[in-house]
Amino acid sequence: MKARILLVAIVSAGLLFASCGSKTKVPKGEIEQVLPCSEFKSDNKTFRVYSFGESADMNVAKKKALSNARTELAGMVNSTMKVVADNYVKSMEVNNVEEVLERFEENSRTVINERISGAVVVCDRVTQVQSSGKFKYYIAIELDGEKIVKDYYKALSKNDKIMVDYNYEKFKETYEKEMERAGR
């Protein structure tokens, strides 16, 4: 009996402390759902996304989740690198801005396509929905931002037209400012 009372007291205290930490209250009549793997967020060094897939077949659910996550990650990296390239090229004061931007975007697509397949899984969970029997596969993946910048530089270094005006340190600085600004 004492063990039960102690267990109930510990669980109650845990729930009390957990609820005290919430920043915003859920509107009346709504129940907050915490998605597995959603705690993994991007920071200023790493791109991270989480997603899920659902299917009657667990492997198909996993493939859907991974595909969704890779698509979202590619979009995130692409939009960040586009802003970085725009800001960097504008700061270079070159005559052929459109041509240089086009080359930067080509390099960005190449690097992103090569890197996305190497994204690291940092979390994965599978659940089965009782009512339908379907599987839900949750996944979080990440890419190291530093590797993206280095691969981007390697791709640019193969282009003589761009390398004449390219300054890696300045580009990296522009990239880091964008990562800070975006709150990643």
Q: What's the length of the chain? A: 184
Neighbour count for residue 139 (Cβ, 10 Å): 28
- pLDDT < 70 stretches in the chain: 1-23, 92-97, 159-166, 183-184
pLDDT value, residue 110: 78
pLDDT value, residue 23: 60
pLDDT value, residue 55: 94
Neighbour count for residue 78 (Cβ, 10 Å): 17
* Contact indicator for 114, 151 with CB cutoff of 8 Å: yes
pLDDT value, residue 140: 94
- Whole-model pTM over 0.75: no
Q: What angle do CA 36, 39, 41 make, to 5 degrees?
A: 130
One-character DSSP codes across 33-83: -PPTTTT----SSEEEEEEEEEESSHHHHHHHHHHHHHHHHHHHHHHHHHH
pLDDT value, residue 169: 78
Q: Could you tell me which of 151, 172, 140, 169 has the C-alpha nearest to residue 72?
A: 140
